[in-house]
Structure 1
Amino acid sequence: MDQSQPPDQDLRTRLVDVGVDLVTREGAGALTLREIARRAGVSHGAPRRHFPTHLELLSAIAHRGFTELAGRVTTTLGDATADPRMQLAELGRTYLEFALENPGMYELMFRHDLLESGHLRLRDTSLPLFGLLVELVGRTRRADDAREADAADARTVAGALWANLHGIAQLWRWGSLQLATGTDDFTPLLRTALDAHLGPETGR
């Protein structure tokens, strides 16, 4: 047996590693089974021992992205007792920075067919991030008595805010927002998005 080749049980990890590198360098469109197998140094049929379908391999790669994003968010937010409005601003900044630094992975992570497929329970890694957003929106709204009469619940507001952040990320990556706003800093857009969905920050 060739000792230079890793054992078969390591092939799954190697295929995902190769996929992560490929999507980082060349984008989601480059993630074919044949190309991942070629770069992993195995036959084009070898990945099917661990990933019977292309979607399952893509889901495993996307799972890495969600794990990294969740880690960044946890590190960024730090103290759970901090001001929720400030934490929302930091979460938004972390989300946008991840999206802009990892465009290929970001595109892959939010593919509807992957989230709907149920492979690797991607919803179990993506929904907790949305749950955190909902929690922070709820805490921010509760901190302002004037907002408690608002009929929209925290989940709806969080969904609208997330959609806003997603749009900023996409349009910024395409260069459209820089051209339209004449700025190279997305901070004012992030602040305006928060104000639009939560009301102006008290005291500003």
Structure 2
Amino acid sequence: MDGERDLRERLVDAGVELVLEGGTASVGLREIARRAGVSHGAPRRYFPTHRALLSAIARRGFEELGARAAAAVDGAAGAREELAALARAYLAFALERRGMFELMFRHELLDGGGQDEAPAGPRLREATLPLLRHVTGLVARCRGEAAEEPSAAVTATALWANLHGIAQLWSWGSLQLALGEPGEPGEPVEPGEPGDGGAGRRDQLIEAALDAHLGPAPR
């Protein structure tokens, strides 16, 4: 059994490498088998469909994002500061792990509905929902509401959509263009890279998103 699980994990490892190198379109069972050093038919034993394979790869991404988020909020004072720390971790992950970030939220390609992604495999939704639920709880605390209030979930989801848009538009260079960095509007700009010096601007965008959805921070 351990050998079977080890092989399954090797196949997922190969898929993660492919996603990070070339994005979702680069992931195929044949290339994963080649990288894992197994026969072309071996992945089908664990991933009967391409959707199941992509779901297993995406789950790794959510696990990594969850670990980064947990480290980012360590020592945060209060719900709003924790939300800001989570947002910074989210944007950093998006810029550093672009192919994975793209895959993780392509639920038309993934099995996010609660079914096993493969025999004896973990369910993708078990990795996707905890972070959003945590954000919902923090939003509720900021607004003085119960986490079960529908409005808290709506606000948390809208905030997530706002942050996701910031991450995507920054990776494309669109926000740098809009903000006049590194060139003036109309001049070509390179997409933002990790450590590109734009962290201060991204922090400003995060604060603006929090203000828009939660109201200005107490002074």
TM-score band by shorter chain is 0.7 to 0.9
Give the aligned partner of residue 141 of structure 2: 139
1:171 paired to 2:169: yes
Aligned mate of 2:100, from 72, 81, 105: 105
Give the aligned partner of residue 3 of structure 1: none
The unaligned stretches of length 5 or more in structure 2 are 182-197
1:96 paired to 2:91: yes
Give the 5 Å matches for 1:12-161. 12-79=8-75, 82-113=77-108, 114=110, 115-116=112-113, 118=115, 119=117, 120-142=122-144, 153-161=151-159
Structure 1 letter corresponding to 2:170: W
Question: C-alpha offsets along residues 65-98 of structure 1, whole Å, 9 cap, x if unaligned?
Answer: 1001111111111247x31110110011111111
Aligned mate of 2:207, from 191, 195, 199: 191
Give the aligned partner of residue 185 of structure 2: none
1:116 to partner: Cα distance = 3.8
Q: Report the 3-state secondary structure (helix = DSSP H, G, I; strand = E; otherwise coil) of the residue aligned with 1:22.
A: helix
Question: C-alpha offsets along residues 80-139 of structure 1, whole Å, 9 cap, x if unaligned?
Answer: 7x3111011001111111111111001111111312473232111111110000010011
1:152 to partner: Cα distance = 7.3
Change in Cα spacing, 1:37 to 1:83, as seen in structure 2 (3 Å) is same
Structure 1 letter corresponding to 2:209: A
* Runs (4+) off by over 6 Å: none
Question: C-alpha offsets along residues 156-184 of structure 1, whole Å, 9 cap, x if unaligned?
Answer: 11011001011111111111111111243
TM-score, normalised with respect to structure 1: 0.87
TM-score, normalised with respect to structure 2: 0.81
The structure carrying a bigger helix percent of its residues is 1
Aligned residue-pair number: 191
Q: 2:205 and 2:58 mapped to 1: Cα distance?
A: 27
Q: 1:117 and 1:15 mapped to 2: Cα distance?
A: 22
